[in-house]
Structure 1
Amino acid sequence: MTAAMPLEKLTLLPPAHALIGQISPPGSKSITNRALLLAGLARGKSRLTGALKSDDTRYMAEALRAMGVTVEEPDATTFVVTGTGEWNEPSQPLFLGNAGTATRFLTAAVALQKGRFTVDGDEHMRKRPILPLVEALQSLGVAIAAPSGCPPVAIEAKGGFSKSRVVIDAGLSSQYVSALLMAAPLAGQPFEIALAGSEIGARGYIDLTLAAMRAFGAKVEEVSPSLWRVEPTGYTASDFHIEPDASAATYLWAAEVLTGGKIDLGTQAAAFTQPDAKAYDVISAFPQMPADIDGSQMQDAIPTLAVLAAFNETPVRFTGIANLRVKECDRIRALSTGLNAIRPGLAREEGDDLIVAADPSLAGETHPAEIDTFADHRIAMSFALAGLKISGITILDPGCVAKTYPGYWDALASLGVDYSD
């Protein structure tokens, strides 16, 4: 089978040839949801091209519509967003599935509106922490509560902050900082955001946030690595092009080196501005990947690299990845579980480090294994790489890739990968 995949599971048939062809990855999820938010906060009509259409961005678009923003979709990669600069109180909770970006970003943005808002998600999102952001907003006088420390979050917004400076603990996620940064131009006064300590997850995503903000007219200064100053400019509608998703690109880069193929993505690795593009150099080193890989600044690429490392010539230790435990699932546990389902002892956890034993002889072998994806798109897509070289790899809940890459299985099929029931 190819495009018509089963809903419950999918077994890959290792191709007997190198994967050669051209694939256009979808637009960046991270940039699309930033652009949707900013366009929704702006006055006027913005045209977002090259955008990702997936579960995560659909939840963001639907939430904006629920608050009175007009979001049109004239084609498969474009959003046309028309806003007034103000949002209405929605008639029901804003349901955001398991979209971390949408949940964190909207929590801060609605705090500067007027009315009652509830930000909620599915069973997985309700396990993902948001307390540091909630506490930061509480310190600004916002009536906000998240009793479990995770969504749902209830906000009674009064249209402003009581202070002009906030300190945020971003050790768990850089999204907390991005959320406050993107809300800040609406604060009505110059506003400062300071880190509590120096720890921040995936700092490169802050650069994406600042670039998007400036594209929509914001004035923001990075005073130091732990302090930002934002002017009360509001946002201006803008036409904005979104680059392809670097996280999605990592699967294709890895498929290329695993099979000795050549896959043209239409964008050179060096042209990506997203943090996960740093993984390209590591992937290019295969089968001689480094013995120690610091994943702190390319967190979403770690599942790709971990599965690739199973075929490396030497073992690989992944460090700086503690934040992977609070992603869509506990990705460290999911990766070790999946790798050990292929062959016991292939991976182990040491604290928050992941060690992949590595064995090039796995290629060409048969190891029947059902991979529990834990409803996590990145676990599904990364373990598909194992199925390119090992017979018997079955991905459970393959449809979860719709979160960020709905066309993933079709993309592999277009390169000659077959599937079975």
Structure 2
Amino acid sequence: MTPPGRRLIGQITPPGSKSITNRALLLAAMAPGNSLIRGALKSDDTRYMSAAMRDMGVMVSEPDETSFTLTSSGRLSSPAVPLFLGNAGTATRFITAAAAVVDGTVIVDGDDYMRLRPIEPLVVALRAAGIDIFSQAGYPPVTVRGTGRLKTSRIEIDGALSSQYVSAVLMIAPFGEGPIDIILSGPAIGARGYVDLTLAAMEKFGAMVEQTSDASWRVQPTGYIATDFIVEPDASAATYLWAAEAITNGSIDLGMPVEAFTQPDARAMATIRQFPRLPAVINGAQMQDAIPTIAVLAAFNETPVRFSGLSNLRVKECDRVSALAAGLNAIRPGLGIEEGDDLLVASDPGLQSSFSEVDIDTHSDHRIAMSFALAGLKLPGINILDSGCVAKTYPGYWNALRSLGVAVKETSPS
């Protein structure tokens, strides 16, 4: 990347939300009839999800670049072969739960990275609810032998490690023989705002959910109703553009105000706006996917920044705490310091004066790649390795930067 040396000014429409797209795909697949999903993200993660729905008996077509049409009987079928979901954590956890209401056996698997990402809390919760489920040491692959319906009235789930486990059991709860209470086993829940996204999508597809306390929900046995659904732009993708605007003192129009986003990562904008005087301590527990963005931005802040609440980032596509520290230290030794699960960024507004060319190891993690591209807006010689990994959630990311006038040159591995 070559720093533009000027303010970035322009208009970019971020892709559709990955989180919302994958929720809508699963809910539409479990709703009898025809559903149209518009504004959807087409990326590696959503392709894994849509392919799995096809393998489970749902007709899925793609009428244009941002739409899916699903025609379903309302029931998912046992696939003929194991479902391969790459490193798509959202799809893997959601489909593992959905397999519990399939009449037959479903094997959910992924790539080598996915096989290092924990799924034990979900497995434990489903087993306690009477589901025949097995995983190897708490990681994929997972084998589920469903009976077509849930015969329990209660599912207790530990959501401390990931809110995706909670969302997964909520989305299958309408297939009970009666109402099902979903209860958190502890008060902590990672990125609780994503549960709100799940509930909103469920209700759009006809589910009836009552929040009975801060840590429990009662879901009625309604099943789902086919519907048309509109996906909002991805707030996590927007954070890179908000940060690019901040770091270059630019003006980038995303086509919708930050207040219109319903996704948790949109709250990152309130922090990004404070650059170059970011808060001394930033808690990332409720905006996890935005933390890599803000951490790289913090490298150019006027004062050091400590990031806390990052334990969940260690079990994402890679250990993002360590990957961020390593990338920052490649730029300047001591720039990123791990302290337990905290990350201390020893900010240096004058990085340009002592910088030499570096390679950034992305660990095949799309968020590491897109975040460190922000450093390339200020520093010459930032080389992002495995840059194609952005296809996981934002295939057009490099072209979006080019459209703003940033020189991005793709090279083949040596």
**TM-score (norm. length: structure 1):** 0.96
Q: How many equivalent pairs are there?
A: 410
Report matched runs for 1:175-254 at 5 Å. 175-254=164-243
Find the counterpart in structure 2 of residue 297 from structure 1.
286
1:23, 1:272 → 2: CA distance?
Answer: 16
Could you tell me how far apart the structure 1 residues matched to 2:346 and 2:356 are?
16
The alpha-carbon deviation at position 258 of structure 1 amounts to 0.6
1:117 to 2:106 alignment: yes
Indicate which of 36, 60, 63 corresponds to 1:71.
60
The Cα of 1:419 is off from its aligned counterpart by: 2.3
Contact in 2 for aligned 1:364/1:390 (Cα 8 Å): no
Q: Deviations over 1:237-276 (max 9, x none)?
A: 0101000000000000000011111110001111100000
The residue that corresponds to 1:4 in the other structure is none
Does 2:76 align with 1:87? yes
One-letter code aligned to 1:286: F
Q: Which residue of 2 aligns with 1:259?
A: 248
1:393, distance to aligned residue in structure 2 (A): 0.6
Distance 1:92 1:295 in 2: 38
Structure 2 vs 1, CA of residues 311 and 324 (structure 1 numbering), >3 Å: closer, same or farther? same
Which structure has more relative contact order (CA 8 Å, sep 6+)? It is: 1
Letter in 2 for 1:330: D
Q: Which residue of 2 aligns with 1:276?
A: 265
Unmatched 5+ stretches in structure 1: 1-11
Could you tell me whether the CA contact under 8 Å between 2:151 and 2:176 is conserved in 1?
no
Three-state SS of the structure 2 residue aligned to 1:45 is strand
Confirm or deny that 1:326 pairs with 2:311.
Answer: no
Query: Displacement, 1:203?
Result: 0.3
Return 23-32 or 154-163, whichever deviates more.
Answer: 154-163
Shift in Å, 1:365: 5.5
Partner SS for 1:133: helix
SS of match in other structure, 1:287:
coil
Q: CA RMSD in A?
A: 0.9
Larger proportion of strand: 1
Alignment check: 8 A CA contact 1:365 1:391 kept: no
**Deviation (angstroms), 1:381:** 0.1
* Alpha-carbon separation, structure 2, partners of 1:228 and 1:325: 28
In 2, distance between residues paired with 1:372 and 1:225?
40
C-alpha separation in 2, matches of 1:294 and 1:248: 20
Q: Could you say if the C-alpha distance between residues 72 and 364 of structure 1 is closer, same or farther in structure 2, counting changes exceeding 3 Å?
A: farther
Instruction: Say if 1:120 and 1:133 are closer, same or farther in 2 by CA, change over 3 A.
Output: same
Offset from partner CA, 1:172-229 (integer Å, 9 cap, x none): 1000000000000012210001011101100000000000000000000111110010
CA distance in 2, matches of 1:162, 1:219: 18
Instruction: Give the match for residue 41 of structure 2.
Output: 52
Q: What's the offset of the Cα at 1:110? A: 1.2
Taking the aligned partners of 1:336 and 1:402, their CA distance within structure 2 comes to: 23
What is the match of residue 380 of structure 1? 369
- Give 3-state SS (helix, strand or coil) of 2:42's partner: coil
**8 Å Cα contact 2:280-2:303 kept in structure 1:** yes
Query: For residues 322-363 of structure 1, what are the alpha-carbon distances to aligned partners after superposition, in whole Å with 9 as ceiling and x for unaligned?
Result: 100000000000000000000000010100000000011114
Structure 1 outlier segments of 4+, above 3 Å: 363-366
- Using the aligned pairs only, state the percent identity: 65
Q: Structure 2: where are the runs of 5+ without partners?
A: none
Tell me, what secondary structure is at the counterpart of 2:285?
coil
Contact 1:164-1:192 at 8 Å conserved across structures: yes
TM superposition shift of 1:160: 2.5
Q: TM-score, length-normalised on structure 2?
A: 0.98
CA distance in 1 between partners of 2:327 and 2:244 (Å): 18
Q: Which amino acid aligns with 1:39?
A: A
User: Quick one: which amino acid aligns to residue 47 of structure 1?
Assistant: L
Kindly indicate whether the alpha-carbon contact (under 8 Å) linking 2:5 and 2:378 is maintained by their aligned counterparts in 1: no
The amino acid that maps onto 2:41 is L
Structure 1 counterpart of 2:99, one-letter code: V
* Structure 1 Cα separation of the partners of residues 58 and 137 of structure 2: 30
